[in-house]
Amino acid sequence: MKKYKLVLLAFLSVCVYCACVEDKGNYDYIELNDMTIQPLEKKYTVELFSQVKIAPEITLKTGTFNPDNYTYLWMLYTIFSDPFTADTLSLEKDLDIEISALPRDYQLHYQVKDKETGLICTQTTEFTVINSFSMGLMALSRVNDDANLTFINVLDQITEDAYEKINGEIAGKNPKGLRLIGDGMLSDANPTVMIMTDDERGGTVINSRDLVSIMDFSEMFYFKLETVKPQVFMKNEFAIIEFVINDGGIYKRDVMGNGFYPKYGVKLKGDYEYMAPFEFHDMSVAYFYDQVKQRFMYMPGPMQGNSVIELNDIATEEPNPEDPGKVVIGAFNPNDVGLHMLWGGLFGQDYAKKYGRAVMEDEEGERYLLSFEAIPGPDFMPLHKFHVSTEGIKEAKTFTTSQNGTFLYYAYKNKIVCVSFSSGMVVNTYEFADGQRVDYVECDQKNNINHLWVGVSDGSKAKQSGSIVIMDMSTDGSLKEVTRYENVCGQIVDFEYKE
């Protein structure tokens, strides 16, 4: 592997050394003396075993271009990956081959060399090889209480009943969630997809590249679980620790240096009873919410311990008038929230997830919006607590927010309502046609952060009774339908984008 790296570095050094080569990037033409080479596309995405044809147009300022006066090299290589690969695709002027490289991201390198002068001109661009399931949107739905998986890859090819077609069985009963795990930058684990179900298996772990089943959820632990009830998987792109909440208990695994399929250890200690099934995971700290004690807790970085602890006390200039014995700062006391969590999470870019958002409910069924900002310490600053009585809020069962946490989107009946987290007021409402029920909404947090994924159906849970709608979110909270995949699923319960 080191040999190939040295060869590639030497090869690239030659290209850089030729100062007379002017490379203006993918959007400008590149001149080699009197020759102009039309630039490659910014990115190519191709399917495994498909035929790839790229024919750069080469012209001269004077005279006629003669291909015989030049040598050519098409090269495909990986950078910052293990194992490193570098393959010569062609020595012809035009690329015309069947792609057999493993599905992943590559760099495509094109070189033209003048035989007489030895001058070299190069272009490099992104090149991604996919198979039917290597990259795209996964949708988990309920079809007559069976877990059903629909896959839409980046070439817009739709595979219904994807898990069943590949594995010859259903993934389980009563689907609950879908999560890609083990794929972080610091992870040595094989990326896998977890299909969570509320049955005796708890769901199944599948290979992220081909969707082949690897093991049941219960086999992901070093010991036998008393209760098999997966609720949420927690991860961060830059963290080496991943968590799972099973039946209110917290379990963790180290994804660095522990094999392809690292297992989860014993239940974490701490003064908690039943953690809410929602994800509050930054790169250096993980927050949790105890549904019984109704308070936030955390595991401090670098998350090598085996206990979750209380947050530090938060002081204020003024005591809480309702309880002189307690002092709080901001809109609520995270150590004594006093509400049940219906939905929540920590949002933002992977290296800076700091926007805490939640929908809460009191004993009378009244609902509240909470927002806080995570700050190093670890503490967080409570920002807002609004009692909300907006249209359909008490009927809503699905909630989401975008990466910057500006708006809450919730659905009821055939409507999606947008509420501001900073005011608690309705900003916009989107209404689907009569007979279409909105079953689930989720903002894309990674691939296109301006997209909202929506699952709609007729409510029957029958096969092909549901559709997937991709919507654009504007800065004013309004929504616009972009793409619709009609009748490709049942009743949607979760989405996950797989890169």
**CA 238 distance to own-chain centroid:** 13
DSSP 195-214: EEESSSS-EEEEETTT--EE
Residue partners of 166: CB distance under 8 A and separation at least 6: 210, 211, 212
Task: Using DSSP, state whether 163 is helix, strand or coil.
Answer: helix
296-338 pLDDT per residue, tens: 999 876 566 789 988 876 544 445 555 544 444 678 999 999 9
Which pair of tokens denotes residue 201?
């298996």
Task: Classify residue 11 by its DSSP letter.
Answer: H
Total-model pTM: 0.81
Cα–Cα distance, 137 to 446 (Å, whole number)? 12
Distance CA(192)–CA(208), nearest Å, equals 5
Q: Kindly state the average pLDDT of the residues 229-257.
A: 92
Give the DSSP H/E element, type plus range, for residue 10.
Answer: helix 2-17
Q: What percent of the chain has pLDDT over 90?
A: 66
- Pick the most confident of 61-65, 301-305, 393-397: 393-397
The CA–CA distances, whole Å, from 1 to 7, 83, 259 equal: 10, 7, 21
Q: How far is CA 455 from the centre of its chain?
A: 17
Both structure tokens of 274: 């039943």
Report pLDDT for 173: 97
Rounded CA gap, 244 and 389, in Å?
33
Asked if 284 contacts 239 with a C-beta cutoff of 8 angstroms, the reply is yes
Tokens 């004690």 found at: 293
At residue 185, what is the residue type? M
Helix (H) or strand (E) holding 112: strand 104-114
Percent of the chain whose predicted confidence (pLDDT) is above 70: 87
Supply the pLDDT for residue 448. 93
How does 436-474 read in b/e, with b if 16+ C-beta sit within 10 Å?
Answer: bbbbbbbbbbeeeeebbbbbbbeeebebebbbbbbbebe
